[in-house]
Amino acid sequence: MSNPSLLILPGDGIGPEVMAEVRKIIDWFGAKRGIAFDVSEDLVGGSAYDKHGTPLHDDTMAKAQEVDAVLLGAVGGPKYDVLDFSVKPERGLLRLRKEMDLYANLRPAQCFDALADFSSLKKDVVAGLDIMIVRELTSGIYFGEPRGIIEEGNERVGINTQRYTESEIDRVARSAFELAMKRGKKLCSMEKANVMESGILWREVVTEVGKEYPEVELSHMYADAGAMQLCRAPKQFDVIVTDNLFGDLLSDAAAMLTGSLGMLPSASLGKPMANGRPKALYEPVHGSAPDIAGQGKANPCACILSFAMALRYSFDMGAEADRLEAAVEKVLADGVRTADLLNEEGRTPASTTEMGDAVVAALDASL
Ligand code: IPM
Ligand code: MG
């Protein structure tokens, strides 16, 4: 049997730096655990635009469809702000999500013990926090038609459309219920059924799917109230399922509860392929952070933990994922901190490579 295949798309800004550390981790699993991957690398986002005039070359898209999993760094940067909307770096990422049909975006917000002081919320509100946001990723207002900027009378009108079919809601709801079954068996669905018809349909379909999961305690919340509850008492949640736009906002808010965007991974999953593995793309929640790019300051943990999610969700290697996550936790407990995880004056932060090396050392110690 051939090795599982991975396509690495480092992207822009800090993407290549954090991905270099993930490479060390991948190599470690090959050398020390006998888990070898066929790794290939390609361009996405601004770096792809610079070379090909498009943020995602068709060949790269085709490769992404073939591999067992895609690991992406980050896209975007101020250099590309002037580009036409259709070739902006973000379009490359959105094309990957859409064409691979990655409808379920899993965004865990987990507060690491060693970092609980780092949240802007009180420690007891966030200590031990472990929630999972399931964001619908291939439909809704991000992709709905009609869209555009049109002329109407003597002014322009900007148009986007929120649109959800029953089957689109059904499939992401199922992913969320399945996850809830493996976790705390609690699911909260968020929409705006008070003002949006798509929200009414969302609530109906989620309720219907819920009948097949009687063990899961299902609740519904308007997304604005959900945002408030996330800040007030986040530990009331286990799994949250929501649409594309609300999920974008709520997952950033949830990420910040943990105090450290540099720590949070994500998985975007689609339908199973012929080999039974889901179509999958893994990426850190943080962006390309152009302000610190190229300076060795970036925290590679979110990208490393995204690889851990790949081990868990694409390769059925839960124990190895646990090992990697524990290694990251140990490094934090030992006090290793990149600049984003430091607020004490006068302490020298660990560099991106030092953080990666510390995780490799912790992996060695785990054997
Ligand atoms: C995210 C990002 C993207 C989104 C951008 C980069 C297109 O904010 O993954 O949350 O809006 O989905
Ligand atoms: Mg976002």
Average pLDDT over residues 224-249: 97
Q: What is the pLDDT of residue 106?
A: 97
Q: Is the pLDDT of residue 139 over 80?
A: yes
| 220: β partners | 189
Start-to-end Cα distance in the chain: 26
Per the residue annotation, which of 88, 192, 297, 330 is the catalytic one?
A: 192
Q: Which atom of ligand 1 is nearest to the CA of 137?
A: 12
Give the pLDDT confidence of 61-91 residue by residue, as tens digits: 999 999 999 999 999 999 999 999 999 999 9
Ligand 2 centre distance from Cα of residue 244 (Å): 10
Average pLDDT over residues 207-216: 98
As a whole number of angstroms, the distance between CA 92 and CA 76 comes to 10
Which residue's alpha carbon is at the smallest distance from atom 2 of ligand 1? Answer: 248
Q: Is the pLDDT of residue 345 over 80?
A: no
Q: What is the pLDDT of residue 256?
A: 87
Average pLDDT over residues 272-299: 95
Q: Is the pLDDT of residue 169 over 80?
A: yes
Does 355 sit in the ligand 1 pocket, CB within 6 Å?
A: no
Domains of the chain: 1-108+260-367 (3.40.718.10), 130-257 (3.40.718.10)
Mean pLDDT value across the chain: 96
- Write the CB contacts of 36 (distance below 8 Å, at least 6 apart in sequence): 3, 30
Give the pLDDT confidence of 95-134 residue by residue, as tens digits: 999 999 999 999 999 998 888 888 889 999 999 999 999 9
Give the pLDDT confidence of 14-68 residue by residue, as tens digits: 999 999 999 999 999 999 999 999 999 999 999 999 999 999 999 999 999 999 9
CB 285 within 8 A of CB 266: yes
Does 248 sit in the ligand 1 pocket, CB within 6 Å?
A: yes
| Gyration radius from the chain CA atoms | 20
